[in-house]
Chain A
Amino acid sequence: MNLRIAGMGWVTPLGRGVDAVWARLLRGDEATAQSISDSVSDRIYSAFRVPDEALKDLPPHPRLRRASAISRFAAAAGLDAITQAKSAIGQIEPERTALLFAVSNGGVVYTKRFYQGLVEAGAQSASPLLFPETVFNAPASHLAAILGITGVSYTLVGDGAVGVLAIKMAHDLLENQPLDFCLVVGAEEADWLLCDAYHKWRLLKKQPPIELFADPPRGMILSEGAGAALLSREGAVEIDAIDAGGNFSHRHEANEILRRIVQELAAEHACVIASANGTFVDLAEREAIKREQPKATVYSLKAALGESVGASGIWQMIAGAQALRSKRLPEIAHSNPNAGLNFPTSDEFSYRKAIVLSCGLNQQAAGARLSI
């Protein structure tokens, strides 16, 4: 398989820019949670939000005038990935580029606002301006228009594993069609309604920190942002294996699927970029890693950046690529020292490969392996 990352873009609660965010993570910075409330309830949650200044130099475009936050995050990350790739490999022809957009919850802010108007004021008051933005592929449509992509554009929906599944689909697309590039973007926006839903599902903590690999799990904090990777035949980091994993009906079945994924992707000199987020995912990943890749150093972004669901898989791919490029992994501030796993230290490492392990909260799991 000859699939490489030619450029990346990253919009996170710790700011924007692959190198800038990575530097902050290596420094040990963690995003600051903000309170999030809604008129429908007096319950207050915490979420990691993208700071306004992260998008201040986003070029104006008519498509973004009324677009929701998720579209703006995606546009910024996508444009940054294209810019980085252009500086490395030259011209990117839009007509030879596919767009693959990974999302889980989608434009929840406008969807809620649209439905709230319907519930409170009746169908006759429903907004024709908001409705089109509630459609899952609205952010992809905006991004395609901004980039001039006129061919393949797919929006792929799933749980937290959707980003890695999108990488797999991108590989299929590049093999199936006369394309040179595939821009894979994962994005999500945070909203009180999502926090409440995950809370009712007993997966959410009210306040940080996210404690990784704690047993029993203590819950996650939602976040938002976008990640983008331009896939090509050229680029410093290779995606040398992808495992589309499978589906689990019950949480305990996630252990076996993850074990199979790690077994498939296991390699000497590989670190693991886990999707551990303070939920049942941590325990399933812990068991899989201990059994199939016990000596690997294990890192998860989510203590520092939160759970960005549809964006998280691409964030993990970026973290894996950055780890291999910088030969370092950030330390994890809040991890269980008794988990039986090797967590990063401040030392440089000699890993040549990074396994990205992605387990979603709603039945999907997948993995990929990066090398340099």
Chain B
Amino acid sequence: MESNQNRGAVMAKMPTFNDLGGKTRYSRVAVVAAGVVSPLGSGLNETLDSLRANKDCVSPVTRFEIDKCRSKTAGQIPDDRLLDTGQNGNKSRRVHRATRMMMTALEELFQQDGSFKPELTVIGTTSGGMSFGEDYYRALHRHRGLRHSPAWIANYPPQKPVIDAQTAFGISAPCQIIANACASGTNAIGHAFECVRSGRYDRVLTGGYDAISELVFVGFDSLQASTPEKCRPFDCERSGMVLGEGAAVLALENLETARARNARILGEIIGYGISTDNHHLTQPDPSGSGPRRAMEQALQIANRAAEEVDYINAHGTATVFNDAAEGKAITELFNRVPVSSSKSMIGHSLGAAGAIEAVICLLALQAQLLPPNINFRSSDPGLNLNIVANESREAEIDVVLSNSFGFGGTNASILIQKLAA
């Protein structure tokens, strides 16, 4: 152990973990398969159709009582669109809806690439099987109905839907479940990207999920972060978010091994940025410095200039503070690049949001389409943004950026590019 007198010298000569001798060679990271279920639909095709149709997927909440809430709507997935857990050898019919969402998304992924065997699984979520916790507490409170409580308790933890879903498809990879609030999905993809990029892993399964729950719905309502109106990201009369739900998964693989086995390649993740701003637990730093650092870092990792970005899928919750901070950062960093928020169509699916939006970015690259920012009426004069207002449109796009920011001051951005055939 070094003496205190030698501290400075030790620090000065200590190399970082990943630049020993400057020999680092990074791997390129391909997305070889993806699966999604969201209010836009089940699967990539339905999702793309809904994007093209500028579909508003927000509807009245029916799953729990919302009489006393300001907000009455959310982006929801009908249960009959989710994979039945009786399939794929999972005998339990008491699993959480979130498990069924994960299974639905995974089924599509493995239909695209059945030979993908991940060494690691990294998934983002915010609330796991929260509604089972609610069922349990309500049963306790009314002193009856507790016979189901062991199943509720067993299926409540956030890792459970992931482990059960991947087990149903014969996957036994260790699971890392990131709960970084609304940035969880993008953080999960970003960490998975880094694991493959570093050469430490060849194949990582990643994504995010969240199912709507009363506690979270009422929580955002109590903060007056959710709106009784339409969700209008970046609009000058925006009044807040609506909640959503869903799941999306991406199969990340070292590009060389993917090409060697002739895997279909949906896109390439080329950059990831993460920052933490310590301004406030629930509000972003109004300067936009946190989002800006995340976006700058993603560009730097990708070795790309801001001018090379063709489209930004913004976090865009439609809250006054988020959109102002994000809009400021985008305005400062980019020159009128087209921007839209998919939350205008499906609401904010929290831990799933970053993963669903990453899939939307892949579809945008594939279809050469700018996804719309619906419900948009008038520009915010404080923001100089090029909003893809109300209707999707065709465009030549090669590089897209996807942002996710969350409670706790966590900011994450990923950069995805189209790969030439």
- With A91-B7, A119-B141 known as contacts, the answer to whether A156 contacts B221 (CB < 8 A) is no
A364 CB contact (under 8 Å) in B66, B159, B282, B293: B159
The CA-CA distance from A148 to B279 in the complex, in Å, is 11
- With A141-B407, A176-B200 known as contacts, the answer to whether A132 contacts B178 (CB < 8 A) is no
Q: How many Å from the CB of B176 to the closest CB on chain A?
A: 6
Q: How many Å from the CB of A193 to the closest CB on chain B?
A: 7
Cβ of B306 under 8 Å from chain A: no
Are B219 and A114 in contact, with the CB atoms below 8 A?
Answer: yes
Q: How many Å from the CB of A158 to the closest CB on chain B?
A: 5
Are A157 and B159 in contact, with the CB atoms below 8 A?
Answer: yes
Cβ of A333 under 8 Å from chain B: no
Mark interface residues in A234-277 (1 if CB within 8 Å of B CB, else 0): 11100000001111010000000000000000000000000000
Interface residues of A in 67-125 (CB under 8 A from B): 87-91, 96, 99, 103-104, 111-112, 114-116, 118-120, 122-124
Interface residues of A in 129-177 (CB under 8 A from B): 131-138, 140-142, 144-145, 148-159, 165, 168-169, 172-177
B175 CB contact (under 8 Å) in A114, A234, A247: A247
Interface majority SS on B: helix, strand, loop or mixed? mixed
Are B141 and A180 in contact, with the CB atoms below 8 A?
Answer: no
Interface residues of B in 97-152 (CB under 8 A from A): 120, 125-126, 128, 133-134, 136-138, 140-141, 143, 146, 149-150
B274 CB contact (under 8 Å) in A132, A145, A151, A175: A151
Cβ of A350 under 8 Å from chain B: no
Interface residues of B in 14-55 (CB under 8 A from A): 14-19
Contacts of B172 in A (CB 8 A): 246-247
Cβ of B315 under 8 Å from chain A: no
Interface majority SS on A: helix, strand, loop or mixed? mixed
Contacts of A96 in B (CB 8 A): 16
Are B194 and A176 in contact, with the CB atoms below 8 A?
Answer: yes
Give the interface size bracket for B toward A.
35 or more
Cβ of A196 under 8 Å from chain B: yes
A157 CB contact (under 8 Å) in B65, B128, B150, B194: B128
Give the interface size bracket for A toward B.
35 or more
Closest to B15 in A: A233
Q: How many Å from the CB of B164 to the closest CB on chain A?
A: 8
Chain A CB within 10 A, most for which of B19, B172, B173: B172
Contacts of A180 in B (CB 8 A): 14, 16-17
Cβ of B386 under 8 Å from chain A: no
Q: How many Å from the CB of A170 to the closest CB on chain B?
A: 10
The CA-CA distance from A341 to B157 in the complex, in Å, is 32
The CA-CA distance from A135 to B281 in the complex, in Å, is 10
- With A151-B274, A155-B180, A180-B14 known as contacts, the answer to whether A244 contacts B120 (CB < 8 A) is yes
Q: How many Å from the CB of B240 to the closest CB on chain A?
A: 13
Are B218 and A157 in contact, with the CB atoms below 8 A?
Answer: no
Cβ of A362 under 8 Å from chain B: yes
Cβ of A323 under 8 Å from chain B: no
Chain A CB within 10 A, most for which of B197, B218, B293: B218
Closest to A174 in B: B17
The CA-CA distance from A111 to B214 in the complex, in Å, is 12
Contacts of A366 in B (CB 8 A): 174
The CA-CA distance from A41 to B139 in the complex, in Å, is 11
Closest to B158 in A: A157
Contacts of B160 in A (CB 8 A): 362-363
Chain A CB within 10 A, most for which of B66, B164, B194, B224: B194
Q: How many Å from the CB of B321 to the closest CB on chain A?
A: 14
Q: How many Å from the CB of B338 to the closest CB on chain A?
A: 29
The CA-CA distance from A41 to B149 in the complex, in Å, is 15
Mark interface residues in B303-347 (1 if CB within 8 Å of A CB, else 0): 000000000000000000000000000000000000000000000
The list of the 6 closest CB pairs from A to B, nearest first, reads A90-B7, A141-B408, A136-B179, A131-B219, A244-B174, A145-B278
Besides A90-B10, A96-B16, 5 more A-B contacts (Cβ < 8 Å) are A141-B407, A144-B408, A152-B276, A177-B194, A178-B18
